[in-house]
Structure 1
Amino acid sequence: MILDFFNLRPDAFGLDISDLSIKLARLKRSRKGLALSSFGEVALVPGVVTGGEVKKSDQLVLAIKKAMKDVKGKPLDTKWAVVSLPEEKAFLQVVQLPQMKQEQIENAVRFEAENYIPYSLDTVYLDSQVITPLVRNHLDHMDVLLASLPRPAVDAYLSVIQKAGIMPLAFEIESLSIARSVIPNEVTAAPQLIIDLGAMRTSFIIFAGSSLRFTASIPISSVQLTEHIAKSLKIDFKQAEYTKLHYGLAGVNDPEGKEVFDALIPPLTDLLEQIKKHMSFYESHSDHQHLPVRQRAIKKVLLCGGGANLPGLPEFLRKELDLDVKLGNPWSNILPSPLREVPGMPFKDSMHYTTALGLALRGVRIDYD
């Protein structure tokens, strides 16, 4: 799997590190299936991690230790973790290679990667994954997903994790974890767009078949939406955040709710334009799906991340995009359907834990090499 530097098999918890917080989740197996054993979140002081880069490693180490100590549920019973790596630092590309034996793929990937990755291969960690075709039609080539991250960025995370007393089972980019959380059985018959609305950025993740196909990040964020409300209504950030979550886009019949709606329209219009732009780009560069042109179009959108809790957002995007837009379910591969929450973590809270739950799911799975 992508950016899997360790190949051991103990159970591990999921550790999601972002610019503003640390979240962790631990799943356990039982006769009834999987259950959430431990979870927790610690806020980070701005500047500890910026744009996915570790800036103040000592403070990050202390915050991770605090998160591990102050978990809700049962105490953590493992030092092993599957750890997220920042999406904004990752480079992904689907490439085509001639059909070849498994042992030949690594060298072929490195050779091909030089044509796509905008850095010297000596300065990045590189990994690859052969994509199972959506349609098995005896292709004369194989499609391979390349992923790379700058070595300094990964090494900084590794150093912090080790100083915190954690043994990393694997590192992986956030988009993999998110897809593992919200794509039922991790398989789709047609391409789907996942929109992860985070505190500092929004990520677009396109998943088709059993693999990622495309990722991108933009600076439109949940915090930005709150700032628009604060400025428009002339209130402080804390009050604006409360007002945003109270009214969102669903309170237009209330005078204050209408003000909130009007304040949100400019940034959400920008978001809509970015969604359309990235969908159009992908659909015009999706030959690797090997589908008829009419089947390459994205018709389903899943929302996740804390920003997805904005009231009325799925309905707004559904109307503006004329697509099937709904909230993703971070429990789709953990809890039996139709359950969407567990004691101690309401569904709205679980949207914040989408990445951590995806990491935790990998931490108890044995079907990863």
Structure 2
Amino acid sequence: MQVFHGIGVGGRQYKKAARGIKFPSIKGSLSKELLRKLAPKKTQYAAVDIGSREIKVVEVSTADGYPEVIASGRLTTPAGVLGEPEGDEDLVNALNEVVLYSGIQSKEVIATISGDRVITRHIKVPVMPAKELETAIKYEAEKFIPIPVDDLNIRYLNLGEMESDGERYLHLLLAAVPSSFVYDYYEIFIRAGLVVAAIDVQSLCLWRVFCGLDTSAARAGTAGILDIGAAATQFLVVSDRGLQLSRTLPVGGNLLTQSLAENYGLEFQEAQQLKEEQGELLSVEAAASAAAGAMQMDYSLRVGLSNLIREIRRSLDYYASLKDATTIDRFIISGGTSKLKGFREFFAEAMEVPVDFGHPGIPGLTGGGAAEPLPFDPAFAVAVGAALREIVEDV
């Protein structure tokens, strides 16, 4: 087992994944600290988010003292799933293409792993020295992960101390990924001419982009954050900027597409195009005078959304059962599905709290697709959060 503060592969195992590439060593009296001081200060950071539907790439610059998106691009993810050998070459070609036309300059990138491939758990362990945590984490991981821990890369994040029944505990967020998958990831990026500096977890990317900077989600109180992708949804609860809960829900925008396909008698891709071009959820007022076609669209979308809302309510019930849970007073939404016309209003009505689009306050990445232009494209939330990894200090 390897325990890192950033998922990756190290030593001989990395050389196996990056076979054919040699790394220079530092010799003599030149220390790493001196090398850091002598090296030019890095001001540009690139990230790649490979989603089930789209690949998103961004490059963020801090040259003027505050993050700004200076390059971005998106491309449909090839049909071959990452980890399936027959799809690797298509993915390599897609990475080459999106990097080329997006205009990002950095060849060193932060990559993300989709939530359905990462096992995450919140655990508590007695307060102990950091050097003893590895043994404790291995023991805890063996309890809930159905894969031998020696075959996993495990990342943990210390979310702080908590008290339970008079005892002090460490609140840890564990993220585990099969090592074989990590090696495949590195190999694919290398073949695309990119160097993976780190592999990041989507939930932490979302925390950074919406809570790591001075944003609406970072203010006092408790916020629910939802990033609704095509196949999965990331659900976070943040209280006074502290990460309280992180879950991956196995539902997303594909539910809506499938519902449209069934109700309109379309193939999946045709239904996806229909959703993007004509999809709209109606308000009560609009529904009263809507045409039959608009009502059919509204009904079909709501059928698909019913399962998503059900999963969200289950997570809310679980959070409410926790000892230190506080009332969620607002929701921040992101992800491609959040741009569906009428979704924000629909979700606010369902949750009975204010709902707004997430906006990190970073210029350079506007987005459309909602009822009106957005100051930040919510589909890029995870990618931008990954690019902020070296800029924003985690939780």
Q: Same fold (TM over 0.5)?
A: yes
**Does 1:38 pair with 2:71?**
yes
Can you list the C-alpha shifts for 1:277-300, whole angstroms capped at 9, x where unaligned?
11112221x33xxx3xxx523332
What stretches of structure 1 move > 4 A for 4+ residues in a row?
6-11, 52-55, 186-191, 233-236, 341-346, 366-369
Residue 192 of structure 1 and its aligned partner are, at CA, apart by 2.8
Find the aligned partners of 1:55 and 1:3 in 2 and give their Cα distance: 28
- Name the SS for the 2:8 alignment partner: coil
Q: Residue in 2 aligned with 1:152? A: 180
Q: How does 1:123-202 map to 2 (within 5 A)?
A: 123-133=151-161, 140-183=168-211, 185=213, 187=218, 189-202=220-233
How many pairs align? Answer: 347
Residue 32 of structure 1 and its aligned partner are, at CA, apart by 5.2
Compared CA separation, residues 21 and 348, structure 1 to 2 (3 A): farther
Q: Residue in 2 aligned with 1:305? A: 335
TM-score (norm 2): 0.77
What letter matches 2:8 in structure 1?
A: F
Q: Residue in 2 aligned with 1:225? A: 256
Can you list the C-alpha shifts for 1:166-196, whole angstroms capped at 9, x where unaligned?
1111101222212222235385655432222
Q: How does 1:43-82 map to 2 (within 5 A)?
A: 43-46=76-79, 48-49=80-81, 56-71=87-102, 75-82=103-110
Compared CA separation, residues 29 and 258, structure 1 to 2 (3 A): same
Find the aligned partners of 1:97 and 1:200 in 2 and give their Cα distance: 33
| 2:55–2:74 contact (8 Å) kept in structure 1 | yes
Structure 1: any 5+ residue segments left out of the alignment? 336-340
Q: Residue in 2 aligned with 1:269? A: 306
Find the aligned partners of 1:368 and 1:274 in 2 and give their Cα distance: 27
What letter matches 1:283 in structure 2?
A: A
Q: How does 1:195-344 map to 2 (within 5 A)?
A: 195-208=226-239, 209-211=241-243, 213-219=245-251, 221-234=252-265, 236-237=270-271, 240-245=274-279, 247-250=280-283, 251-252=286-287, 253-255=289-291, 256-284=293-321, 286-287=322-323, 291=324, 295-329=325-359, 331-332=360-361, 334-335=362-363, 342=365
Q: CA RMSD in A?
A: 3.2
TM-score (norm 1): 0.82
What letter matches 2:60 in structure 1?
A: L
Identity between Structure 1 and Structure 2 (%) = 20
What letter matches 2:58 in structure 1?
A: A
**Does 1:358 pair with 2:392?**
no
If asked which structure has higher relative contact order (CA below 8 Å, sep 6+), I would say 1
| 1:3–1:147 contact (8 Å) kept in structure 2 | no
Compared CA separation, residues 134 and 24, structure 1 to 2 (3 A): farther
- Name the SS for the 2:388 alignment partner: helix
| 1:306–1:351 contact (8 Å) kept in structure 2 | yes
Residue 238 of structure 1 and its aligned partner are, at CA, apart by 5.9
- Name the SS for the 1:199 alignment partner: coil
| 1:176–1:212 contact (8 Å) kept in structure 2 | no
Residue 213 of structure 1 and its aligned partner are, at CA, apart by 2.2
Residue 270 of structure 1 and its aligned partner are, at CA, apart by 2.0
| 2:161–2:168 contact (8 Å) kept in structure 1 | no
Residue 311 of structure 1 and its aligned partner are, at CA, apart by 1.6
Find the aligned partners of 1:91 and 1:261 in 2 and give their Cα distance: 35
| 2:208–2:392 contact (8 Å) kept in structure 1 | no
Residue 122 of structure 1 and its aligned partner are, at CA, apart by 0.8
